[in-house]
């Protein structure tokens, strides 16, 4: 049994939860025993007799444990696995071959404990810039530094530490991690070689935009760390009015962002669609957009940029961000300094160069987006190697 551990999982939607879901889906389809371990959410599926909500569509068990909402971080939840005796009774009796943690918090700690108890390989993937999260929650620098030391200590105990792209290593080093890292990219379930004309038309109808309107899109958490307010302020400076902007997602800044749109008199130009969980509908939204706006300095290797690329939509990214590693300006995406004037000027220029948007979108599609099938064949080989190595070491002892 392979265990995938993360502190959120669909119906809570973000890049890491989608990553874990695709790991579970691919391995399940390829007849490998796989399970997900995560905090419970109120609307998760009814549990079976083994305390595991079965994902009926994908046919893998989800072992969840007691949790409560995190204040000001809806829909995320804080897990308490040690306060859930039924969960502990169940999870401690599962014979794992390998555990893979996708975060260093409650679920990751369960994975670490199980790896030590069962003498099995423990992989930890570093996905997020945790210091930013801690600084948003705690004003005391000593508290933040203490929490970062705990994060580093967690990753130092892993048999392998994975990162989704090479530039993420810099963040880990800044935190104080000195061990080895392996680059294992994230995949994309929107990758296709089929023409996108039909799905683009579906998305344009969904948005209700005219043929001549330029569509901008943001998908992700509505939090200030991702700079959605920069997008709104930049758009307010555009001289050309032939555009529409759509925000998909939710977060603690949603209401304030809507108020900003109101104050700038952009309510007829900017629409908030909330969270879209239907992947086919989200695929149409990406395809309908002409330009994906993502000025975030917070993200490491955001899945949304790759999803947009898979649908032929290039992204405008903040220059010198971790995300920008995969972007060659003017070839498979665009770069601008993360401030209003620079972002606005770049958007205005691209609005009047739609053939360039099309060419760059096609380049993004061919260079940035890799299928999950491609990625997870590599992951499977890595899993097998670690399991075999651990087995040989155990025999030698």
**8 Å CB contact between 357 and 288:** no
Yes or no: domain 197-367 corresponds to CATH 3.40.50.2000? yes
Check pLDDT > 80 for residue 22.
Answer: yes
Check pLDDT > 80 for residue 283.
Answer: yes
- Residue 163 CA neighbour count, 13 Å, CB half: 23
Per the model's pLDDT, the better-predicted residue between 391 and 60 turns out to be: 60
Calculate the alpha carbon distances from 79 to 40, 119, 124, 194, 346 in Å: 8, 24, 18, 42, 43
Task: Quick: pLDDT tens for 102-135.
Answer: 999 999 999 999 999 999 999 999 998 999 889 9
Q: Is the peptide bond before 339 cis (omega within 30 degrees of 0)?
A: no
Task: Quick: pLDDT tens for 238-249.
Answer: 998 899 999 999
Predicted confidence band of residue 85 (pLDDT cuts 50, 70, 90):
very high
Radius of gyration in angstroms for the set of CA atoms belonging to the chain, rounded to a whole number: 21
Give the residue among 105, 178, 184 at the shortest CA–CA distance from 380.
Answer: 184
Check pLDDT > 70 for residue 37.
Answer: yes
If one counts every other C-beta atom within 10 angstroms of the C-beta of residue 65, the result is 24
Look-up: residue for tokens 């930013």? 132
Predicted confidence band of residue 351 (pLDDT cuts 50, 70, 90):
very high
Q: How far apart are CA 294 and CA 317, in angstroms?
A: 5
Average pLDDT, integer, range 329-352: 96
Check pLDDT > 90 for residue 143.
Answer: yes
**8 Å CB contact between 35 and 63:** yes
Give the residue among 209, 219, 377 at the shortest CA–CA distance from 286.
Answer: 219
- Residues of the chain with pLDDT > 90, as a percent, come to 81
Task: Quick: pLDDT tens for 200-222.
Answer: 999 999 999 998 999 999 999 99
Q: How far apart are CA 110 and CA 82, in angstroms?
A: 9
Q: What is the DSSP letter of 371?
A: B
Average pLDDT, integer, range 55-82: 86
Helix ranges restricted to H, the chain = 15-29, 85-91, 106-118, 130-137, 141-156, 168-175, 197-207, 228-235, 254-263, 279-288, 303-310, 340-351, 354-367, 372-396
Q: How far apart are CA 344 and CA 293, in angstroms?
A: 11
**8 Å CB contact between 104 and 172:** no
Is the whole model's pTM more than 0.85, yes or no? yes
Average pLDDT, integer, range 23-40: 95
Q: What are phi and psi of 320, to 5 degrees?
A: 70, 10
By CB atoms closer than 10 A (0-12, 13-18, 19+), residue 18 is buried
Please tell me the CATH code under which domain 2-187+372-396 is placed: 3.40.50.2000
User: Rounded to the nearest 10 degrees, what angle do helices 141-156 and 106-118 cross at?
Assistant: 30
Q: How far apart are CA 79 and CA 45, in angstroms?
A: 18
Check pLDDT > 50 for residue 142.
Answer: yes
Predicted confidence band of residue 230 (pLDDT cuts 50, 70, 90):
very high
Residue 396's pLDDT is what?
A: 62
Range(s) of the chain covered by CATH 3.40.50.2000: 2-187+372-396, 197-367
């Amino acid at each position: 049994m392979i265990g995938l551990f993360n502190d959120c999982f669909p119906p809570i939607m973000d890049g890491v939860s989608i990553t874990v879901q695709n790991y579970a889906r691919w391995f399940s389809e390829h007849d490998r025993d796989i399970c997900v371990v995560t905090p419970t959410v109120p609307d998760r599926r009814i549990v079976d007799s083994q305390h595991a909500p079965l994902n009926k569509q994908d046919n893998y068990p989800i072992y969840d444990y007691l949790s409560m909402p995190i204040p000001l971080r809806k829909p995320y939840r804080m897990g308490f696995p040690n306060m859930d005796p039924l969960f502990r009774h169940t999870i401690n009796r599962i014979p794992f071959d390998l555990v893979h943690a996708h975060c260093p918090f409650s679920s990751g700690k369960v994975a670490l404990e199980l790896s030590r108890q069962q003498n099995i390989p423990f992989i930890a993937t570093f996905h997020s810039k945790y210091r930013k999260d801690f600084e948003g929650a705690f004003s005391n620098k000593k508290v933040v530094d203490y929490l970062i030391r705990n994060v580093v200590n967690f990753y130092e105990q892993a048999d392998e530490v994975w990162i989704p792209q090479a530039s993420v290593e810099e963040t880990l080093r800044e935190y104080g991690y000195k061990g080895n890292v392996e680059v294992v990219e994230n995949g994309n379930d929107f990758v296709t070689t089929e023409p996108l004309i039909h799905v683009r038309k579906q998305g344009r109808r969904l948005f209700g935009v005219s043929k001549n309107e330029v569509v901008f899109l943001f998908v992700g958490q509505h939090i200030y760390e991702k700079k959605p307010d920069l997008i709104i302020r930049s758009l307010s400076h555009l001289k050309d009015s032939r555009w529409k902007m759509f925000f998909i997602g939710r977060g603690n800044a949603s209401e304030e962002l809507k108020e900003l749109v109101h104050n700038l008199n952009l309510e007829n130009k900017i629409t908030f669609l909330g969270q879209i969980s239907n992947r086919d509908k989200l695929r149409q939204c990406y395809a309908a957009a002409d330009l994906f706006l993502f000025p975030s300095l917070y993200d490491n290797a955001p899945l949304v940029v790759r999803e947009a690329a898979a649908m032929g939509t290039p992204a405008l990214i903040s220059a010198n961000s971790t995300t920008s590693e995969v972007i060659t300006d003017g070839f498979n995406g665009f770069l601008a300094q993360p401030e209003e004037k620079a972002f606005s000027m770049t958007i205005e220029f691209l609005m009047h160069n739609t053939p360039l948007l099309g060419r760059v979108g096609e380049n993004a599609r061919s260079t940035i987006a890799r299928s999950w099938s491609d990625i997870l064949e590599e992951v499977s080989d890595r899993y097998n190697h670690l399991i075999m190595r651990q087995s040989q070491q155990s025999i030698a002892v």
